[in-house]
Amino acid sequence: MLNDVLKQAAAAVQGVDGVFLVAMDGMEVARSGDPGDFPLEFMAASYADIMRKLEAAGKEVDFESPAELMVTTSGRKLIFRAVTPEYGLLAVVAPGGITGKARYELGKAARLLRPELED
């Protein structure tokens, strides 16, 4: 099921280089697509660390846990979507890719994967 959900999310959005399920330590669990020379494990670990820090900061001021983090560069866009406290989805969006649709599809994929990953 994991691979099917990732494939659906990646195929539904023009310009997505890949959708990856990652553990919050940055290790890849499953993937759909090929990011080429993109340093996936390094970026996944970095984004997971940022999400943990945002969650800790939010607890200090009584905010909810962050659901999504997006960074736009002059080239790619990177979207990290929390699935559970232990897992997240990382989408690599190429220049010209449809960011809003990518965010929507990651949210949909997260909802589909959450029950399986919480068991």
Q: What is the pTM of this model?
A: 0.88
Predicted pLDDT at 39: 81
pLDDT value of position 25: 82
Under a CB-based contact definition with an 8 Å cutoff, are residues 10 and 16 in contact? yes
By 3-state DSSP, what share of the chain in percent is helix, strand and coil, each rounded to 5?
45, 25, 30
Beta-carbon count within 10 A of 87 CB: 21
* Beta-strand pair 68-72/77-82: antiparallel
pLDDT in tens, the chain (119 residues): 888 999 999 999 999 988 999 998 878 898 888 777 778 778 888 888 888 888 889 888 888 888 899 999 888 899 999 999 899 999 999 999 999 999 999 999 999 999 999 87
Pairing assessment for the beta strands 87-93 and 16-23 based on DSSP bridges: antiparallel
Please give the structure tokens belonging to residue 36: 């080429």
Ordered by where they begin, the domains of the chain are 2-118 (3.30.450.30)
pLDDT of 42 reads 83
**Treating both helix axes as pointing N-terminal to C-terminal, what angle do 99-118 and 2-11 enclose, rounded to 10 degrees?**
170
- Taking CA atoms, 31 is separated from 5, 55, 57, 65, in Å, by 10, 25, 30, 25
> Tokens 């990382």 — which residue?
90
pLDDT at position 105, please? 96
Q: Which pair of tokens denotes residue 41?
A: 């494990």
pLDDT at site 11: 92
